[in-house]
Amino acid sequence: MPSKQHVQQRERLRNENKRVRQPSCRMNDDEYQLLSRAAAVCQMSVASFLAHAALKAAGDLDRTAAEIAAQREVHNELFAVRRHLGHIGNNVNQVAKATNSGADVPYAEAVLGAVQRATQRVDAFIQHYLDTEKRTG
């Protein structure tokens, strides 16, 4: 019988450092999914990730509301672009499947136009972001 792999557990907090407060916040589904993915990438629980992120933000009070708003704008735009690219990717796959099966694909130009517009949107956003960074940095 193979031996079980030993899982290293984190060291327990001493009583004086133990987290006993449990703040609460509300999120919509998109916000919670974003939070869950970020926690998973960091190999943390959602609660640990929230505590870590909140404490990090609280320790950096020099950031202005404008910087935080700009970062939120960046995140919102990136998620919009990702959704848009996902839709376009589905359309490109449909065009490829139809083309490979020998079917006529009259909408191929429209799909390629969408790819070009998405590319332009990404390029414009990146330029806007870089211009903003130059002015504030």
- The confidence score (pLDDT) of residue 1 equals 52
CB atoms near residue 93 (< 10 Å): 11
- The confidence score (pLDDT) of residue 64 equals 66
pLDDT in tens, 76-125: 878 888 888 888 889 889 999 999 999 988 888 888 898 888 888 888 88
The DSSP letter of residue 63 is: S
Rounded CA separation 136/77 (Å): 19
Closest CA to 84 of 124, 122, 41: 122
pLDDT in tens, 22-75: 888 899 999 999 889 888 888 888 998 888 888 877 777 776 666 777 777 777
